Amino acid sequence: MMNLLLAVMFFFWLLLLFYSLVTLAGIWYRNKEGKRVELTIYPSVAVFIPAHNEGIVMADTLRAMARLQYPGKLDIYVLNDNSTDATAEIAMEFSSLFSHIHHISVPKGEPKGKSRVLNYGLQISDSEYFAVYDADNEPEPDALRKLVETAETTKNAAGAVGYVKTKNMEVNRLTRMIGLEFQVFQLLMQCGRWALFKLGSLAGTNMLVKRKVIEEMGRYDVYALAEDAELTVRITAAGYVLPVVPSSRTWEQEPEKIRIFIKQRTRWLTGNIYLLEKSLRDLSHWKGKTFILSLQHVMTYLLFVVLLLVSDFFFIAGVLGYTLPEMRAPLLILWFMSYIVYTAQLLSALVVDKNVTLKNVCYILIMYFTYAQLFIILLVRSLSVYIWSRLRGKTIGWDKTQRFKSKEGNQ
């Protein structure tokens, strides 16, 4: 028992140390972001917007796309994946007004999902780069230009990754907590990994990739539910880098109900479990910088949740007065330090993003007890879904995130 506790504490402190270093590096990188570097010639870019029944948000998205300021050749493709609502009508209306906006009907096919739709977009376009925006996204006018400028001026870059902000953050407690979580991942973890290891991760939206690189990779894996993470690993294993550009910002809608949040994050986590299994079969995922990505996937999606559960156990046992195994350091510190580091990351993100308010600080102080605990449920649910699908030999279906009528626009 004592050896098991020692092992748990070792991995716990290792995880805390890693995230603390990445947080500090992220703060440093975010505050030192350099000036814009203009290009002499801007390469051609195709913007892909995968869309299935996105009529409720499509008009807002395409208005934002029409405002993109890009000096080179730009084509925007609404990849309509057999929508039965007003998605097609809205897209065709915009295509009649703007010559660079195109409505594309994607043929039916299996397996369903974003990866297959993006592969079709690559098939019908021929630009030097492609960018991906989810159908609820409203990028700022200079977002795409900043991604291209960074990709073109960074050695061995396969593309670039921007910052995703929450446009419905003020709607309720859930959207506020999601927005605060995104600030940590986007502003600190992404920036910190880039500063320390020259590692960036595709975020699924507000991301740019060179066409020749993805063609070299064999395009998207159509079975990957977390297509961005899966492609990131392959790109990194091939020796390319993905620079992080926090000043390139897009605003997206987040789930406003717990039920929708659970379904969305189950898909994300299930996709990352698929990636972990794939990594165990491909040794290239554990070499060089790719090792750091694969290790972080294990720590973020498995080890963090397990340690969260362990720290909860020791906290509850200590509060209830149960006698805990004696060690040189009280086991209650496991919980205390995890709470301190988790909360410090969130507070740091607030300061860096200039978003410090009394309400946000109060939410941060309780997120460990509320929002973070949801990830225990998510891990159990995702593992169950994944294992059951593997036992039946079934492909896990793509679960589309439900959208809501916009209650507030761009910030």
What average pLDDT score do residues 282-310 get? 69
Q: What are phi and psi of 326, to 5 degrees?
A: -80, 130
Q: Reduced to 3 DSSP states, what percent helix, strand and coil does the chain have, rounded to the nearest 5?
A: 55, 10, 35
Query: What's the pLDDT tens digit per position in 337-348?
Result: 778 878 888 888
What average pLDDT score do residues 352-362 get? 88
Strands of the sheet containing 138-139, edge to edge, are 101-105, 74-80, 45-51, 129-132, 207-210, 159-166, 244-252, 138-139
Highest mean pLDDT range out of 6-15, 199-208, 390-399?
199-208
Tell me: pLDDT of 1 over 60: no
Query: What's the pLDDT tens digit per position in 282-295?
Result: 777 777 777 777 66
Residue 253: name the closest of 133, 124, 333 by CA. Answer: 133
Query: What's the pLDDT tens digit per position in 100-117?
Result: 999 999 999 888 889 999
Tell me: pLDDT of 118 over 50: yes
What distance in Å separates the CA atoms of residue 216 and residue 360, rounded to the nearest whole number? 44
Tell me: pLDDT of 355 over 80: yes
| DSSP per-residue codes, 143-200 | HHHHHHHHHHHSTTBSEEEEEEEETTTTS-HHHHHHHHHHHIIIIIIIHHHHHHHS--
Residue 190: name the closest of 353, 57, 302, 361 by CA. Answer: 353
Tell me: pLDDT of 318 over 70: no
